[in-house]
């Protein structure tokens, strides 16, 4: 990944899958970025795309995630946690509809961090549900931009 100063979003679609990807370069250590990403209680303070996170953001735990504009509670399960490197949140019911969000951090030699987040939606119901899904570009760009801003404020 090259140094990306502003969040860069890419959408890839086919009949039964959709991949949303965002990346951004953050001028802060991976530990600071990781601390923000794994602090459920304070998540809504820095992230405008989330109004609440219940549970603990750690391997094997199920979260209760609330987002603006809906009363629905998303309940992804956290897995694949590697401290300051990556984690995955998985929700839905295969083979009907499933969402897998993966967060990755890459340390740089100048003590900054490359952040990427992607979510793969898949399943037999995806062609029917696509029309009801939000436009993920502004959501993903806001998520990455909010994380960048919070981490860079905290780095001092």
Where do the DSSP E strands lie in the chain?
A: 8-14, 17-26, 52-54, 64-66, 73-74, 77-82, 86-93, 97-107, 113-122
The model's confidence at residue 111, banded by pLDDT at 50, 70 and 90, is: very high
Could you tell me the residue ranges of all domains in the chain?
8-154
On whether the CB atoms of residues 62 and 154 are closer than 8 A, the answer is no
What global pTM score does this model have? 0.93
pLDDT digits (tens, 9 = 90+) for 85-110: 999 999 998 899 999 999 999 999 99
pLDDT tens digits along 116-155: 999 999 999 999 998 888 899 999 999 999 999 999 999 6
* CATH architecture for the domain at 8-154: 2-Layer Sandwich (3.30)
């Amino acid at each position: 990944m090259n140094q990306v100063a502003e969040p860069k979003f890419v959408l890839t679609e086919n009949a039964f899958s959709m991949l949303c990807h965002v990346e951004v370069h953050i001028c802060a250590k991976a530990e600071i970025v990781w601390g923000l990403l794994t602090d459920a209680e304070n998540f809504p303070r820095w992230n405008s795309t989330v109004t609440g996170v219940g549970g603990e953001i750690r391997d094997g735990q199920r979260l209760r995630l609330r987002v603006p504009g809906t009363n629905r509670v998303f309940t992804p399960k956290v897995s694949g946690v590697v401290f300051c490197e990556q984690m995955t949140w998985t929700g839905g019911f295969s083979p009907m509809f499933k969402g897998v969000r993966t967060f990755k951090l890459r340390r740089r030699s100048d003590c900054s961090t490359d952040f990427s987040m992607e979510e793969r939606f898949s399943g037999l119901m995806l062609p029917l549900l696509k029309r009801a899904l939000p436009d993920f570009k502004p959501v993903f760009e806001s998520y990455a931009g909010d994380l960048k801003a919070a981490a860079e404020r905290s780095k001092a």
